[in-house]
Amino acid sequence: MSGNRNVSIYLIWRVGEKIMEIEIKDLSKAYRPEKPVLSGINLEFRPPSIVGLIGPNGAGKTTFMKILVRQILASTGSIKIDGTDISKSENDLKNHLGYLPQEFGLYEELTVYQFLDYMALLKGLGLEKEKRIKNCIEKTGLSEKKNSRIRTLSGGQKQRVGIAQALLNDPELLIVDEPTVGLDPAERVRFRNLLAENANHRLVLLSTHIIEDVESICNRLIVLYRGEILFDGNPVELIKKAAGHVGVLDSDCEAGPDIETDCIVTSRLITETGAQYRIVGDKLPSGIKPVIPSLEDAYMYLITQSG
């Protein structure tokens, strides 16, 4: 009997769940009038999805995310959530948002549990607080560290605490800004998997300047460069754009290839006989063997094409 009651409560909750469709139109931001850092941003998001926002440092990723979470205001344009302007649904947004900022100050002297308890209080979690904290600690693999002071944790563990606090309110919209900066390669892999495991029904927006971060977990990529969107689509579409524009050159010379065209060398692999150079450009020099582009090649090609 009690089992049935649980099922019906669950269904009501699912029906009442937010959809979180986001529609962004003609968004721009200029901290100083003469220097726009975002311009002409038009995007739509719909859960469930893991979206990678990728671009070099200074591209405008953090600015974009701060606008989405209402930390700063856009200069022009509109953002609608489920059809309502974001300025009119700020409280609603807060209830359904989890955010891990790029610069995330943790209270180093608190234990993991104490910190999450404090964050849960700020988020206004009521009766379900303890259950949610326990659930987030488990989900982020921090059970053994729950009574450790934050200052004693590794970089990867601290970022997991960051995700745990972002998941406290079981948000429909999860925004994480450059979460893998400063993590070692193994920690980065673990963090990416953690994010994918906790994506569920959510819309996850992950910003990074590292292609590897988005390669394995994102089904949609947005490339932001100098405040503009250069690409919005799935990884395969991005790779297709670079077909015929990536090649390799085997060279036994230490100095590397002498390329006179406007191609760029994106990597050098040491081989038994010397080195193999990976080259990206609009028109590959003669003698260069075209190869199937990687996502990293395609991203580099896109960036070089925009000057």
Judged by the rule CB under 5 A, the positions of this chain that interact with Mg ion are 61-62, 102
Decide if 85 contacts 78 (C-beta within 8 A).
yes
* Encoded amino acid at 284, one letter: L
Q: Which partner in ligand ADP, Mg ion, none is near 98 (CB below 5 to 8 A by kind)?
A: none
Q: Which residues of 11-47 are buried (b: 16+ CB within 10 A; e: fewer)?
A: eeeeeeebebebbbeebbbbeeeeebbbbebebebeb
Shortest Cβ 191–Mg ion spacing (Å): 17
Nearer to ligand ADP, 62 or 157 (CB): 62
Q: Which partner in Mg ion, ligand ADP, none is near 10 (CB below 5 to 8 A by kind)?
A: none
Q: Which partner in Mg ion, ligand ADP, none is near 63 (CB below 5 to 8 A by kind)?
A: ligand ADP
Shortest Cβ 296–ligand ADP spacing (Å): 18
Nearer to Mg ion, 51 or 288 (CB): 51
Shortest Cβ 220–ligand ADP spacing (Å): 18
Shortest Cβ 27–ligand ADP spacing (Å): 13
> Coil, helix or strand for 101?
coil
Q: Which partner in ligand ADP, Mg ion, none is near 28 (CB below 5 to 8 A by kind)?
A: none
**What separation in angstroms does the CA of 41 have from each of 27, 232, 256?**
5, 11, 40
β-pair partners for 177: 207
Nearer to ligand ADP, 181 or 189 (CB): 181
DSSP for residue 240: H
How far apart CA 98 and CA 303 sit, in angstroms, is 30
Nearer to ligand ADP, 60 or 179 (CB): 60
Nearer to ligand ADP, 66 or 202 (CB): 66
Shortest Cβ 177–ligand ADP spacing (Å): 7
String of DSSP letters for 146-179: TTSBGGGS-HHHHHHHHHHHHHTT--SEEEEEST
Q: Which partner in ligand ADP, Mg ion, none is near 60 (CB below 5 to 8 A by kind)?
A: ligand ADP
Decide if 256 contacts 277 (C-beta within 8 A).
yes
**Which residue ranges make up the site for ligand ADP (CB under 6 A)?**
31, 37, 55, 57-63
Shortest Cβ 210–Mg ion spacing (Å): 12
| SS (HEC) of 170-191 | CCCEEEEECCCCCCCHHHHHHH
Of residues 282, 275, 218, the one with CA closest to residue 245? 282
Nearest residue (beta carbon) to Mg ion: 62
Q: Which partner in Mg ion, ligand ADP, none is near 221 (CB below 5 to 8 A by kind)?
A: none
Nearer to ligand ADP, 59 or 211 (CB): 59
Instruction: Calculate ∠ Cα 13-18-22, nearest 5°.
Output: 170
Q: Which partner in Mg ion, ligand ADP, none is near 167 (CB below 5 to 8 A by kind)?
A: none
Shortest Cβ 55–ligand ADP spacing (Å): 5
Nearer to ligand ADP, 55 or 156 (CB): 55
Nearer to ligand ADP, 72 or 110 (CB): 72
**What separation in angstroms does the CA of 287 have from each of 127, 186, 263, 296?**
69, 38, 13, 22
Shortest Cβ 80–Mg ion spacing (Å): 24
